[in-house]
Amino acid sequence: MQKYSCLIVEDEPLAAEVLSDYIQQVPFLQLQGICSDAIYAMEILQKEKVDVVFLDIHLPKLKGMQFIKALKEPPQIIITTAYQEYALQGYELNVVDYLLKPIEFSRFLMAVNKVQKPAAVSPATAAAATPERTHLFFNVSKKMVKVYLDEILYIESMKEYIRIVTRDKTILTKFQLGQIEELLAKNNFLRVHRSFIVAKNKIDAFTATDVEINGAPIPIGRSYKELVMRVLEQ
């Protein structure tokens, strides 16, 4: 499994401990170190290869945003802060995500699932390389479960949880449907109801009121009907 080396830049010991615990629960993350200020973090980045930095904004010596601007080749950065007013500036600096403290694990997981590491292949072999199947990890009973996106039939909202259904299994994980919709935005999925997201290529049949996937009827919400019909009738 491809590992992403991580660095926490955080001057609050409790916040750093929470992030460290979260990182240890995700199999594709590997904690490289914890820095209490950005100057020390710069030294680490000069010596070691780091894929992802979890960065607080209000740090001693050098603030988080100035730290990002000072890096010639910044790694992927996830902001972790109690201040929401810097979000726009953060995204202008191409951060992966902007997490507001206190950070729930489901929100943390959503952020790290966005991290992408380019494959180290030469131009000569790039065309022949087989792309890795796109997947996400979900917390299921304190175990991180890999789910390949091309296996998902549909996803159902169940209040604070979502039910992810494939042909072979069903998993229940603490996530908001809007959060998973954001992660799936560039893939083969369609929101058809306030409680359902479906894989477009898994739809076997549809009517004006529902779609059918693997024998299961899934309702089309009134406010989604126009968009759904336009997509499916193309």
Whether 158 and 72 map to the same domain: the answer is no
Whether 218 and 186 map to the same domain: the answer is yes
pLDDT digits (tens, 9 = 90+) for 119-133: 444 444 444 445 568
Mean pLDDT on 182-204: 92
Number of domains present in the structure of the chain: 2
pLDDT digits (tens, 9 = 90+) for 152-173: 999 999 988 999 999 999 999 9
Q: Please report which confidence band the pLDDT of residue 184 belongs to, taking 50, 70 and 90 as the band edges.
A: confident
Residue 117 pLDDT: 57
With respect to residue 215, please indicate whether it lies within any of the assigned structural domains.
yes
pLDDT digits (tens, 9 = 90+) for 59-89: 998 999 999 999 988 999 999 999 999 999 9
With respect to residue 128, please indicate whether it lies within any of the assigned structural domains.
no
First to last CA, the chain: 38
Give residue 16's identity as a one-letter amino acid code.
Answer: A
Whether 158 and 61 map to the same domain: the answer is no
Within a 10 A sphere around the Cβ of 223, how many other Cβ atoms? 9
User: Quick check: 220 pLDDT over 90?
Assistant: yes
Q: What is the chain's alpha carbon radius of gyration, rounded to the nearest angstrom?
A: 20
Residue 233 pLDDT: 86
Mean pLDDT on 174-199: 90
What residues are paired with 196 via a beta bridge? 156, 193
Range of the domain at 199: 135-232
Whether 67 and 9 map to the same domain: the answer is yes
CATH of the domain at 31: 3.40.50.2300
pLDDT digits (tens, 9 = 90+) for 104-117: 999 999 999 998 75
Out of 80, 112, 144, a domain closes at 112
User: Quick check: 39 pLDDT over 80?
Assistant: yes
Residue 119 pLDDT: 46
Instruction: Choose among 136, 138, 137: nearest CA to 172.
Output: 138
Q: What is the largest CA-CA distance in the chain?
A: 61
With respect to residue 130, please indicate whether it lies within any of the assigned structural domains.
no
